[in-house]
Amino acid sequence: MKALSLPLDTTAPHSSWQAAAPIVCAAWIAVLCIFWGTAAATVTVWNSSSFGHGFFILPACGYLVWMRRKQLASLTPTLNLWGLPLLCVLGFGWVLGALADVLVVQQVAVVGMLEVLVWILLGSSVTLALRFPLAFLWFAVPLGEVFVSPLQDVTALFTVNALQLSGIPVLLEGRTLILPSGSWEVAEACSGIRYLLSSLVVGCLYASWAYRSWARRLGFLLACVVVPIVANCVRAYGIVLLGYLSDHKMAMGVDHLIYGWIFFGLVTMLLLWLGSLWQEPHEPTVDSGPTRPSELLSSTVIEADGRRTSSARTTALTAAGGVALVALAPLSVWALLNRVQTPVVVRAAGPQVSPPWTELTGYADKWVPHFVGTDAEVVESYTAGAQPVHLYIGYYANERQGAELISSENTILERKQWERIAERRAIAAVDDRSLRVGETIMRSTSSRRTRLVWTWYWIAGEFTSDPYFGKFLLAKSRLFGMRQGAAVVAVSADCEFDCTTAAASLQGFLHHSASLQATLRGFADHQR
């Protein structure tokens, strides 16, 4: 109890912040430098996709922290070493993301490291006070691509129904709307993901400022999800209707984009205006720090007993230790990816087939999937009568940057030559085992013939059509030093009125072909 009578240093919090704040900033800069590849790739994604709002996130987070400066000044930064194990977990997560070439996993890990460093160097009280700026920082991670396809389907279905209600004849094939005056495709840019994400960012900022209760905040955020989706559907309907009524003289090209952004701006202003109708009055700022002498004494005892203010030297050493800890992640990846590997001489060849199937002397088609950086490709045609089946194998001896099996740059159809009609999963018997394959129905833009395609991957000696599981297999093979070698397999046949006969032909070919597992392993067996 004698400590209660000691004179208090009322400048301690201020001096603690003078030491801690620059150290946290330096730690963040060091982490971003260590993971410069991930940071640079993130900026590239911001600049070239639907995540342009990413450039706004860091300045907004800085402003949100500045707005809380009075509350933070009343708190004393303290070290919390419980975050170090979590830092190790995030470092390992980044390693797995790097081994699997999954950028979003690396981005999540880096943002997590930055936030955990705040917890380690400033303590739980400060981190709790910064919970909204730290949560807002997650918008910097380009998440949301998984919702593009469902949003395209919703937009296409809404537009077709709206056009039919307007008395305009329209036919929907996949995501292509066929009207008497021409056809329209609901492309990825028409999904509305850009509007949805931008609306969520603006909505979060507005909800944190305008509302005090969580019920109103969550209600407004729900509106920020529903309204942009509905508005994008109305926008797509308006564009097609305007193009139809003007005989495709309006709402094309630049008009299309300008109309979209003007429409989104109006919808955003309307959403904010509606939100202002339920705005709650601002409560006077209450200093959360101690004010009465008894509270000052009590706070001093708590800090003396359990949360002693750390010196600048201790904080700096802890920051250096945390940065050094996460620096082990890229070093580990470098060591795992640069193991001594035997050069591979790939001798690719298609599988042998048994009667009644025979291999044609040449490839009987012009369609070839687009896979970047393959070390070898097999393009063959087979027949058991009048229905030819085409086989494509794209083989990667050792995946590397710019030559990855599962990548957004790879596709089984060129959009200028083929349009996607349907995409789903199917069950096929491959090497006498049941396998879920990707099934795509596409149509030639020139000849208008329809084609059925089955695709799947071969990674680490296993077949799969799931790209996420494929990335897991890639990370596992690199982590445990398994033999490299991966491939994509695509078999296709033309359809008539439906694809039942084509599917039977594909299954017949797979049943009469030699083991694809043995064929693909043979590609990598020729090593010197």
User: Does one domain contain both 52 and 81?
Assistant: yes
Same domain? For 94 and 186 the reply is no
**Shared-domain flag, residues 407 and 322:** no
| Residue 433 bridge partners (DSSP) | 430
Q: Are the C-beta atoms of residues 360 and 381 closer than 8 Å to each other?
A: yes
**Measured between alpha carbons, how far is residue 142 from residues 111, 130, 232, 411, 495 in Å?**
12, 22, 20, 21, 39
Q: Whose structure tokens read 């329809």?
A: 450
pLDDT of the residue at 117? 95
Are residues 248 and 378 located together in one domain of the fold? no
298 occurs within a structural domain: no
Take residue 173 and report the two structure tokens written for it: 């094939």
In a domain, 205, yes or no: yes
pLDDT (0 to 100) of residue 250: 60
What's the CA gap between 83 and 29, in Å, rounded? 19
Q: State the DSSP H helix or E strand holding residue 47, giving kind and residue range, or none if neither.
A: helix 36-48
Residues 364 and 485 in one domain: yes
Cα distance between residue 300 and residue 2, in whole Å: 12
Kind plus residue range of the DSSP H or E element containing 506: helix 500-512
Q: Are residues 129 and 55 in the same domain?
A: yes
**What is the pLDDT, as a whole number, of residue 88?**
94
**Statement to judge: residues 131 and 263 lie in one domain:** no
Residues 152 and 132 in one domain: no
Asked, for residue 351, whether it belongs to a domain, the answer is no
Same-domain check for residues 136 and 153: no
Q: How many CB atoms lie within 10 A of CB 421?
A: 18
* Count of structural domains within the chain: 3
Residue at 292 is within a domain:
no
What is the C-alpha to C-alpha distance for residues 200 and 217, in angstroms, rounded to an integer?
12
**pTM: predicted TM-score of the whole model, two decimal places:** 0.79
The verdict on residue 487 lying in a domain is yes
Instruction: Return the pLDDT at 39.
Output: 93
Instruction: Report the C-alpha gap between 374 and 16 in whole angstroms.
Output: 56
Chain centroid to CA 170? 34
- Of the residues 256, 276, 296, the one at which a domain ends: 276
Look at residue 6 in the predicted model and tell me its pLDDT: 36
| CB atoms closer than 10 angstroms to residue 159 | 26
What token pair was written down for 255? 């008009």
**Residue-level pLDDT at 400:** 77
pLDDT for position 289: 40
Domain presence at residue 440: yes
Q: Do 512 and 370 share a structural domain?
A: yes
In a domain, 416, yes or no: yes
Residues in the chain, overall count? 528
Domain final residue, candidates 276, 294, 319: 276
Question: Which residue ranges of the chain lie beneath pLDDT 50?
Answer: 1-12, 254, 284-308, 526-528
pLDDT at 460: 87
**For residue 135, what is the enclosing H or E element?**
helix 131-136
Do 515 and 441 belong to one domain?
yes
Distance CA 477, CA 471 (A): 10
Domain that holds residue 388: 358-524
How is the beta sheet containing 182-185 ordered, strand by strand? Answer: 171-173, 176-179, 182-185
Based on the domain organization, do 386 and 518 belong to the same domain?
Answer: yes
* Per-residue pLDDT at 301: 33
Q: Give 517: exposed, middle or buried? Use CB within 10 Å, 0-12, 13-18, 19+.
A: middle
Q: Which residue has the tokens 């529903």?
A: 226
Residue 283, pLDDT score:
55
How many whole angstroms separate alpha carbon 390 and alpha carbon 451? Answer: 11
Report which of 302, 489, 255, 250 is spatially closest to residue 391, judged by C-alpha positions.
489
Across 51-112, the runs of DSSP E, i.e. the strands, are: none
- Which of 227, 256, 276 marks a domain boundary? 276
Residue 404 lies in a domain: yes
Burial, 86: exposed, middle or buried (Cβ in 10 Å; 0-12, 13-18, 19+)?
middle
